[in-house]
Amino acid sequence: MAWGIIKLNLRLSLTGALFIDSIVIDNMAASQIYIAISIAVLAIIALMVFFVRKGKKEKRLSKLAGIAFAFVISGILFSEDQVIGYSLLGIGVTIAIIDIIIKLRK
């Protein structure tokens, strides 16, 4: 397993949009790159949700949504073993879809 460094050159526009100017990857396997990008995207989404919902009424995650999120994160973390990683991702997405259907029926 080769470890390396990921360098992101980010740029923030006046409108608040975040742009990635360049990505430099040194000596990393494809699965490691996938994991690093997934974690970065999740962090950006979490920050966006945090700042957008700052003044609004707080809605908590449902139990199914929390379980689905845990399965998806586990799938990302265990992605080196593809069978386990994709199975966990699939379970997480399936639970999330079930949660969406339940919320739409209410």
At 8 the pLDDT is 59
Predicted pLDDT of residue 76: 85
CA 89 to chain centre: 11
Per-domain residue ranges of the chain? 1-58, 60-106
Measured distance CA(64)–CA(70) in Å, rounded: 10
Q: What is the pLDDT of residues 70-96, one digit of tens each?
A: 999 998 888 888 888 889 989 999 999
According to the model, what pLDDT value does residue 2 have?
47
Q: Which two tokens stand for residue 61?
A: 């995650």
Average confidence (pLDDT) over 58-77: 87
Across the chain, mean pLDDT equals: 76
pTM above 0.85, yes or no: no
Residue 18 CA, distance from chain mean position: 16
Q: From CA 79, how far away is CA 73, in angstroms rounded?
A: 10
pLDDT at 1: 43
pLDDT band at 45 (very low <50, low <70, confident <90, very high): confident
DSSP 8-state secondary structure symbol assigned to residue 53: T
Kind and range of the H or E element at 36?
helix 30-52
**Residue 92 and residue 7: Cα distance in Å, rounded?**
30
| pLDDT at residue 15 is higher than 50 | yes
